[in-house]
Structure formats: C-alpha cells, structure tokens
Structure 1
C-alpha cells in the first residue's frame, strides 16, 4: 500500500475508532503526517484513494505575490499565482501542472472587505477550528472592535475565544474580563501574561494535536508573543507598544501557518486595525441574538426601535436589561454590513456584465475579420 493510501486509511480508521469510544478514556493512536497538518475526515470525504495517490493533499502555509507555499506529508512546494488561495487551504497537488491543483471545499473561511476603498474581498484564513481574538488590557481594548472579530468568527463557523494579554501591565484585569464576557455567552474569555504565564496550558482546551488555531487582533496586542510561547521559540517577530496611545507596531507582515512538533497548526496574522464586514449577516445576528430576539417581539415588523409603541427593544433599555450602547453598536455594524455586501454585489454584477461585453465584442471582431 502506498504512503498516501496509508494516510487515507489512517484518517478513516481513526474517525471510526473515536466514534465508538469515549475519547477521554482511550489512548489515541499517533497522528499520521497528514493529520499533523490538520487533515480531517471533512477533507478525506471529498476524495477517493486513487485521487490521493495521483494528487497528494497539500496545505497552504503562506500566500504571497509569487504564489503559495504548500506542505504535505514529507513534501514542500510552491504553487504559482492563479487560483485565489487562503492560508490554511487544502489542495490535491498536481506535480506536473501545479496551477491545476484542485482546491478542496473549505471547512471554514475568514474573509473581509479589503481595506480602504477597494470593492473586493480579502481572504484571511481557511479551515481554522478555533480563533483566538487577542486584545490587551490597556488603551487598545475596544468592545466594538472585539464584536467585529467575534461576528466574523460566528459567520465563519469557527469557535472564538477572547484572549486578554499584557495582564501584567494593569492593576486589575477583572474590569476587562467583565466587559469581554458581556459580548456573548458563547465566547470564553481568558487573561494571560504571555511572557511569564503558561500559555500552552491556558490554551490547551482548544489546542489539541491535529487542530488549527488562529490569532486575530490589532497590531501590538501580543499575537506573535503567544505564537512564540506555544513553540517555545522565535517563530514570529515581536515588538513593543507605543507609549503615547498603547497601540502596537506591525511585526507580522504576512499570514503564516506554523506547526508544532505535536501537530498543532498555528496561524499568525498581521494586525488588522480596519475590519470591514460583508456577507456576515448571520454572524452579526448570532452575536447580537439578544437584540434580534427582542426586535422580533416588537409590535410592528418595521419597528425602528425609536419612538414606536410596543417596541420591546426600547422597553428593555428602559428596564435596564439591554444596554443602549449595545443597541447602537448593533445598528452601526448591521448597517455597515448591508452597505458593504450591496457594494460588493454590485461590483460582482459589474464585473460579470463587463466580461460578457468583452466576450461579445471579441466574438464580433473575429467575425468581421473572418469575412475580409
């Protein structure tokens, strides 16, 4: 049996083995080379053994202008520019024609509207199991910004965890913890002193071998320090924060997927000061589920939650069960998402119509040329 057939069989056997037993009471078999890169049943179900032999699975570890770095079981290579890829993607690698490598369906995908005035999406990461939304216990702490990251995680169907860093630089972390926990009862919150604490132990519940985790946040909040602590080595460059505003300096300049010796995929990302959401309606609804549920009970379906009679949202604000600031953040984020989604949809429609026009003109030109 070939190496790739063995890897496929191990994934299948491992899934069957764990489905019939309590994972906490059995000794788990060693992970294969592919499983250590994050290969799971979700991906193996998309291919058959013959495909694995002819085109072995590889995972995208970095994307840059000259192409994408990929890594497989005992293999590293480069795929030239072509298909838009995200760090974390899985492909069936075509050695003869790398640009013909087949992209497998994604288990999850982080994307945002590109920064500035660009009217297209920017892919952030794919096939992540848990995302650690990192912020620091100083002036950089911002509830509205955290809510954006959490909404993005919910939309991507990835479990989010809020990590509060630089706990050693503030007198009391509890106010920060309380504010972060108020964002959603579905999100765990932990405070870490990355330079002195046990980072691996603090993140252990979400960092099993074979999993992929990602760190998202603004610059200087300590993402790279957390990555380095997990590896106990300098995997990512780090730097301090500016004293005048507590904001960080950019250290990570590209998204990179690293792997620990145990087989944990760790994705470090550049800081994102601007995070414009689009196509994230369900993620925002999940984040603000309390507001959405109240709005559904209003007397009028088109209630603006201002002065209308029978408004359950205003009633909740009046009796103190809903924070007025939270309502305003929901309104702002929902309006922004609708605008961005509409703008990007218009751009896609324009590109489609423009492409159709070019093909029509080209066809007509060839027809005239053939009649000469």
Structure 2
C-alpha cells in the first residue's frame, strides 16, 4: 500500500492546514490515521503507509483529545514527541459501557454516517434516533441504510417508519449481499469522502462493508432467528479505501448506544418539539404534567405523538446527566434517595 496518493484522495480539507505553520509544513509531514492499536498507530501519508508507536503521553491526556481513526496528524516520522493531532471537522463518540461514564472515540473527520438497521425485528425507532442524534451532534451527514429489504414483504413500511424520524435524512433500502448496494450508496462514496458505519450486531454492517469493498476482507457471523440479534464480528475500528476512492470505517456492533453530551444533536433531531417547548408557561417546565406545559397540550390535542415525546425527554435527560460532574451526579442521586426514604416513611405512618 505504498503507492503514492494525494492528500485530497485521503480526504484532506483546507481547514486542516490552518493549524500548521510554514516551518512545520517544511520540516515534517501530514498523515491520516487508518487504525489504532493499543501501542501503535497505522498511518497513511502521500508516499507511504507505516506504523508509528503510540507514546505513553497520549494515555495521560483527556480521552477526547487522543488520536483516533480518521484523525489527521502532523509529525516527524519516528521522532518521539513530534506527533500533533490536527483540528477535527467531525468527531463521533459515545459513552462507554460501565458505571463510570467515559467517552469512547469512534472516528474523526467523518463526512457521512451510514446508520444501518434491517427490515426485521431489529428495527427500532428509539435506537435509530440515538444514532441520528449522534451523527447530528458530531456534524456528520446521516444516511439510514435498511438492509435485508429483499427478505421482507413490508420493506416500504420500514422505509416510511425510518423516514418519519427526520424528513430530510436519506433512507436507502438495500440487499447487503448484492452489488447493487454499492450503486445505491454511490452518492456518498466519492473519492476523498469518508463514511463510517454504525448499527447493532447482526444487521449486516460487515456484509455491507464487504460488498462495498468487493473483496470480502471482514469476517461475518449469523443472527439468532428468534429475535434477529447478531454476534459481534468487527472488534476494532479501521479505515479502508473503497474501489471508487472513498474511505469506509467499520465499527463493532453495539448492543447499547449511550450518547453522552449530545444535546445539540438531540435538539436538532427534535427541533419541532424544542420550538414548541418555548411556548410553555414557565421557563423551567419539566414537561411532566406541569401546569401550562405546551407539550402536554399538544399531546392532548393529538398534534404531538406521546411516544415520540417520551423518547425526546429520555434522550434530553441522558444528555443533561452527561453534562454533570461526578459530584453533581452524586448529589442528585443522594437527593433522590432521600426523597424515596421520605415517601416510604410517610406511607408507613399513614398505614399505622
């Protein structure tokens, strides 16, 4: 893979150069991260492809500042301490599983996010909304790709359900095993464009990636028939060039997507509800039966779907929680526990 390639073909944009001085441009070079292992980076420059050690210092900076797949970097090859991560255009990240919420970087400088679901029991509006909010918050263009359309008699129903989540987001029905999928997705796979694929295990992400690549270099696994759930096949993120010149990042399947602080993406996705909420009587309305709540009134009038409102409120609470410091979360949980104990005490006194 040492065939010369232009920076534009790698996805370079003029914005990235703004953070570099003339001296840096003359004394070092820029490269893109195609993969990240625990202790090394897989880099691609104009003239070569190589591995660079990931120095210990990068494990000591905040997680969202560490190098990730898709990042552009400046460095003097094999010179310790020289690597610099250039300003990102977009950054996909989620909250990692576990009791202590920590960001997990998925990919940087992504132009388009293919949100993959399937035309079967895996299809879930709430989950798709999470992916849409993630893409919008990151600044990437979302495209919903519904696989296994050839196996469903109600594929158009799934398309309409997906389109109802956001009217201006493209929805594409594909058979991930068929070469026609590449033609249908071609508008987002031009030379120098970078696409990431996200979706649950078993929806056909890796199969679709293999079809787009044309050489089947990623392994796949089947799904359980009873619930359409799949097993994880992709275990690491890597960026691979497509035959037509675009780049694709395949990511591990996700059982759960915790958004973290994605308030901007949530507000963009539910912009109609956000606008309606401004009509509430009180600025601190919690939309939980509060007096003068415009959202409650809209639900009662039938102009707002109660299920969609519920999903919005859930995502809004999640993003607010992600913005709190550990001390603030501890105080909130302590206050809630105190409230529960008081309710139990009052109930006990009432029953005497």
TM-score by length of 1: 0.81
C-alpha separation in 2, matches of 1:94 and 1:345: 42
CA distance in 2, matches of 1:102, 1:317: 51
The CA RMSD over aligned residues, in Å, is 1.9
Contact 2:202–2:230 at 8 Å: present in 1 too?
yes
CA separation of 1:251/1:286 partners in 2, compared to 1, >3 Å: closer, same or farther? same
SS in 1 for 2:324: helix
Shift of 1:343: 4.4
Q: Deviations over 1:28-72 (max 9, x none)?
A: xxx952211111112133324542332111111111112211111
Q: 1:123 aligns with which of 81, 105, 117?
A: 105
Which blocks of at least 5 consecutive residues in structure 1 are unaligned? 1-30, 348-372
Relative to structure 1, the CA distance from residue 126 to residue 143 in structure 2 (aligned partners, 3 Å threshold; closer, same or farther) is: same
Counterpart Cα distance in 2 of 1:312 and 1:284: 19
Q: How far, CA to CA, are the matches of 1:296 and 1:141 in structure 2? A: 32
3-state DSSP of counterpart to 2:197: strand
Helix, strand or coil: the match of 1:115?
A: coil
Matches within 5 A, 1:313-352: 313-343=295-325
1:57 aligned residue: 30
Q: TM-score, normalised by structure 2?
A: 0.85
Please tell me whether the aligned partners of residues 113 and 140 of structure 2 are also in contact (alpha carbons under 8 angstroms).
Answer: yes
Aligned residue number for residue 274 of structure 2: 292
SS at match of 2:69: coil
Deviations 1:277-333 (A, max 9, x none): 112111111111111111011122122334444432122212322110011111111
Displacement of 1:155: 0.6
Contact (CA 8 Å) 1:89, 1:127: kept in 2 or not? yes
Q: How does 1:183-198 map to 2 (within 5 A)?
A: 183-198=165-180
Q: What is the distance in 2 between the residues matched to 1:143 and 1:76?
A: 41
Match of 1:79 among 52, 75, 81: 52
User: What are the superposed Cα offsets for residues 106-141 of structure 1, whole Å, 9 maximum, x if unpaired?
Assistant: 010011111122332111100000000001111111
The answer to whether 1:204 aligns with 2:177 is no
Residue number in structure 1 paired with 2:41: 68
Deviation at 1:251, TM superposition (A): 0.9
- Structure 1 segments of 4 or more deviating over 4 A? 343-347
1:268 aligns to what?
Answer: 250
Corresponding residue pairs, total: 317
CA distance in 2, matches of 1:161, 1:259: 19
Q: Which of the numbers 157, 162, 173 marks the counterpart of 2:139?
A: 157
Q: 1:280 aligns with which of 238, 262, 272?
A: 262
2:228 aligned partner:
246
Residues 52 and 78 of structure 2 are in contact (CA less than 8 Å); yes or no, is this contact kept in structure 1? no
Which deviations, in whole Å up to 9, do the C-alpha atoms of 1:201-234 show, x marking residues without a partner?
Answer: 1112212111101101111111111111112111
In structure 2, stretches of 5+ residues that fail to align are 59-65, 330-352
Would the aligned equivalents of 2:238 and 2:250 in 1 still touch at CA under 8 Å?
A: yes
1:40 aligns with 2:22: no
Of stretches 257-266 and 91-100 in structure 1, the one that deviates more from structure 2 is 91-100
